[in-house]
Structure 1
Amino acid sequence: MATTEELIKALADVLAADQISENETVRELHGKDESYHAMKLPDIVVFPKNTEEVSAVMKVSDRFDVPVVPFGLGSSLEGHVIPAKGGITIDFSLMDRVLDVRAEDFLVTVQPGVTRTKLNKELKKHGLFFSVDPGADATLGGMVATNASGTTSVKYGVMRDQVRDLEVVLADGTVIHTGNLAAKSASGLHLNGLFVGSEGILGCFTEITLRVYGIPEFMMAARASFPTVHDAVEAVVSILQAGIPIARVELVDEMSMRQVNAYADTDYAERPTLFLEFHGNEAGLAQDVEFMKDIVADHSCEDIAFESDTAARNQLWDARHNLAYSYITSNPGKKLMVTDVCLPISELAGAVDHARDVISTLDMPAGIVGHVGDGNFHVLLMMDMNDPDEIAKADELNEKIVHYALERGGTCTGEHGVGTGKQKYQQQEHGESLLVMQKIKQALDPKNLLNPGKVISVETEAD
């Protein structure tokens, strides 16, 4: 492997001096994400401004057999951007332009460093919005890389459903496009589906074309409390079975409602609660809401409050989105673990009950939240990274929740991705299909230089 000096010299031929850094503070910022996984510093961080520069960096990587890790904002939760084998981190923060808004086609093309809120600010001028809302103000490149979803996926779908085309730089510097601008295609293999969720192990995204939507005429939010988590989850199942076109439905358990009130200075009932939102026209929503009220009443709903005012709706969703940070600030010295499984809707209530039973055996701060409209839920658990007993308990909790999901036809990760944290479950979840994934990785990245050590294990002669 080349020395750092040799790498910097080679990179200086394709990038300006201020686009290359070996500063220790800069490297530390790129050696971690928001997960509990251990830090590992890259040797060099580069800041390309366009596709040509990314391609040039990849060619340097290929020539010197140096690993490359793409980096957005570092908001990932399973160690995705931690450079397990050092090498070069490509920071996409300078590639943050909205390139083209095709309002008539409901499409937008962006560079990977554009954040979700920046995109929606630009789209609002055209009466449009981008639907995927994971909570964190992540970059679009990172959201594509992990197939992010979030609160609105029950109505609009996940990241994979929004991607129309990707410009991708492969391991040897080759630039390809994975799709086109058409609404559908029966031509060739579905490369969009392959690259979305690939977590940087197959290539680096340099342009992303996404589907966007018209801003709804009317939005209404609701907050419904229940005596038990089981009642709340069963209410969601009934709402979906009734065909009510709900845009968001989030579960927040009583522990987490206490956190919401403490962090956001609200006075919501500290009971298992559903946060809901409806999009549509005012007359149609009025009928849907009345039907929904009857359904939740059948599941012992104790109280329900509605908000159509924009500020009040935003306060509700800000409280939900900031929940993880409220746990962190309330437990100084501890680190947050966020579990992430997704199951068939019919199995969700049992899975949440099982998770609560496991949590009850731990003497550790923990709550349950989730995008329960699509069967996805999380346990937020605070642990002391200097306490081996707490780490062991956290690992056991995660194991039990994942195995419960996999045994019932679910997945070990609904939206956070695999990274390093969920890699050990890939064989159990995918079986022989994992061999196909490994062959694809080896075909596109034969030297295993693209984010090595993540998602799937492959061996090369260098290893």
Structure 2
Amino acid sequence: MTVAVEFIVNQLKQVLLEEQVSTNETVRQLHGKDESHHALSLPDIVVFPRSTADVSAILKIAHVERVPVVPFGVGSSLEGNAIPIAHGISIDFSEMNAILEIRPDDLLVKVQPGVTRSQLNKELKKHGLQFTVDPGADATLGGMAATNASGTTAVRYGVMRDQVRDLEVVLSDGSVIHTGNLAAKSSSGYHLNGLFVGSEGTLGCFTELTLQVYGIPEFVTAGRAIFGTVADAVSAVTALLQAGIAIGRVELVDEDSIQQANIYNETAFAEKPTLFLEFHGNEAGMQEDIAFTEAIFEDFNCLSVEFEQDNAARNKLWEARHSLAYAYIHAYPGKKLMSTDVCVPISKLAETISYAREQLDIAELAGGIVGHVGDGNFHALLMLNPNDPQEQAKADHFNEQIVQYALLRGGTCTGEHGVGIGKMKYQSTEHGAALAAMKSIKTALDPYNIMNPGKIFT
């Protein structure tokens, strides 16, 4: 331990209990990585706050001593968002995991940032409620807000930013603010919720979140629609949305990914481009939507549609979708997963996915394409040899091609994973002069650049 680190540790131990401060090598290793392909970088110190007061005290020390601070949830991020590339202090929120208040009549819940989505939904189920944002991983709600996470249900319920009613935020100098209130809408002041959600820990640390929740639907039906080509499948989704059908989930899984899902989950799905579907609502209305969907799909050369109303069969279907990343990892031992993440206007989705598939074949990289196609967001899952620079270069070139293709069509370089480390180089192209405004906000709120430095922009 260097003299400088020892000095900070001693200061932290004056405001926290000794067991809340760690310089243990193994603990630091766990906080030096996420689930991305980006390189390991260890924090000097890991702290485990138990209250807003603890977080405020940590940041006051960091502010005075100009020490970098990086918030950490469970490390499930995919763009190096929580990797402490400038070292310093990693703030692990796992001990701030209380569900503080459930307000069923207001359809609101107040939680600490370390609460995971499965933990919250288990408690909400007792009230006939659910929290809808579903990124696949059992991420913390603080981390999900930090990256503006979304996932399979965004087509129906919206992304994380749409669910946040209020945040308690500790700023870089240790001061505490609230960004909203309990009202469903407001025309008062700047929209701070929208500013802080998606800021990836670069503007402050979330210590409480007030979130919108929803009633559990009366009926849920899931199914698979099988197509001859990816283009037909995506075009069918575009027609589905234009028809105004309120679908709960619609996910694309390409041929290669279905093959991996079958091996990993011991399923026997047809190895063709497939849409995984889910409808929510009352029984009569849902049956009308399903019939209308089937009629629309016929116009796009749909080979078959199969629906599952049995709860176990429905869960197996979505387990196959959610476990795809692990299916690829299992199929390529020793390789590292790289997941791309672009989002385009729905009218441009079919051509963008077709382009991505062509480029993936040209690059001769192992992988497949999946996507939340109802909102124009898709991912290429690539398996790379971490010791092969040539393979990494091919993957980076592929990612560059699809990002530029998306940006030229009015899209974004990241639909839900966040900017982190890997997408910083696209920020100027995507945002233009607005990037300078973002930097001005960063400087105003974090003048010493201690909050997750080296993320979003340099």
Q: Identify the TM-score tier after normalising by the shorter chain.
A: over 0.9
For the pair 1:93 / 2:98, whether they are aligned, the reply is no
How many angstroms does 1:202 deviate by?
0.0
- Look up the match of 1:31: 32
- Look up the match of 1:147: 148
SS at match of 1:48: coil
Q: Could you tell me how far apart the structure 2 residues matched to 1:333 and 1:127 are?
A: 43
- Look up the match of 2:330: 329
Q: CA RMSD in A?
A: 0.8
Per-residue CA shift, 1:51-85, capped at 9, x if unaligned?
A: 00000000110121100000000000000111011
For the pair 1:398 / 2:399, whether they are aligned, the reply is yes
- Look up the match of 2:255: 254
Q: Which amino acid aligns with 1:409?
A: G
Q: Could you tell me how far apart the structure 1 residues matched to 2:389 and 2:422 are?
A: 17
How many angstroms does 1:164 deviate by?
0.0
- Look up the match of 2:320: 319
How many angstroms does 1:2 deviate by?
6.8
How many angstroms does 1:21 deviate by?
0.5
For the pair 1:105 / 2:99, whether they are aligned, the reply is no
The normalised TM-score by structure 2 is 0.99
How many angstroms does 1:43 deviate by?
0.2
For the pair 1:451 / 2:421, whether they are aligned, the reply is no
How many angstroms does 1:362 deviate by?
2.1
Q: Is the 8 A contact 1:254 1:271 kept in 2?
A: yes
Identity %: 66
Q: Which amino acid aligns with 1:67?
A: P
Q: Is the 8 A contact 2:365 2:395 kept in 1?
A: no
Q: Could you tell me how far apart the structure 2 residues matched to 1:159 and 1:2 are?
A: 41
Q: Is the 8 A contact 1:109 1:209 kept in 2?
A: yes
- Look up the match of 1:365: 366
How many angstroms does 1:363 deviate by?
2.2
Q: Which runs of structure 2 are paired with 1:4-403 in the superposition (5 Å)?
A: 4-403=5-404
Q: Could you tell me how far apart the structure 2 residues matched to 1:211 and 1:45 are?
A: 31
How many angstroms does 1:310 deviate by?
1.2
Q: Is the 8 A contact 1:2 1:66 kept in 2?
A: no
Query: Matched residue pairs, number?
Result: 457
- Look up the match of 1:415: 416
SS at match of 1:302: strand
- Look up the match of 1:461: none
Q: Is the 8 A contact 1:41 1:83 kept in 2?
A: yes
Q: Is the 8 A contact 1:100 1:108 kept in 2?
A: yes
Q: Could you tell me how far apart the structure 1 residues matched to 2:175 and 2:3 are?
A: 22
Q: Which amino acid aligns with 2:26?
A: T
Q: Which amino acid aligns with 2:363?
A: L
Q: Could you tell me how far apart the structure 2 residues matched to 1:303 and 1:278 are?
A: 17
Q: Could you tell me how far apart the structure 2 residues matched to 1:364 and 1:180 are?
A: 48
Per-residue CA shift, 1:407-443, capped at 9, x if unaligned?
A: 0000000000000100000000000000000000000
Q: Could you tell me how far apart the structure 2 residues matched to 1:360 and 1:420 are?
A: 26
Q: Is the 8 A contact 1:2 1:64 kept in 2?
A: no
SS at match of 1:361: helix
Q: Could you tell me how far apart the structure 2 residues matched to 1:2 and 1:46 are?
A: 18
Q: Which amino acid aligns with 1:301?
A: C
Q: Could you tell me how far apart the structure 1 residues matched to 2:368 and 2:35 are?
A: 18
How many angstroms does 1:181 deviate by?
0.1
Q: Could you tell me how far apart the structure 2 residues matched to 1:117 and 1:356 are?
A: 33
SS at match of 2:127: coil
Per-residue CA shift, 1:259-282, capped at 9, x if unaligned?
A: 110011100001000000000000
How many angstroms does 1:303 deviate by?
1.4
Q: Could you tell me how far apart the structure 2 residues matched to 1:408 and 1:298 are?
A: 26
- Look up the match of 1:460: none
Q: Is the 8 A contact 1:426 1:456 kept in 2?
A: yes
Q: Is the 8 A contact 2:56 2:174 kept in 1?
A: yes
More moved, 302-311 vs 194-203: 302-311
Q: Is the 8 A contact 2:252 2:372 kept in 1?
A: yes
SS at match of 1:13: helix
Q: Is the 8 A contact 1:112 1:142 kept in 2?
A: yes
Q: Is the 8 A contact 1:119 1:130 kept in 2?
A: yes
Q: Could you tell me how far apart the structure 1 residues matched to 2:56 and 2:317 are?
A: 43
Q: Which amino acid aligns with 1:43?
A: D
Unmatched segments (≥5 aa) in structure 1? 458-463
How many angstroms does 1:388 deviate by?
1.3
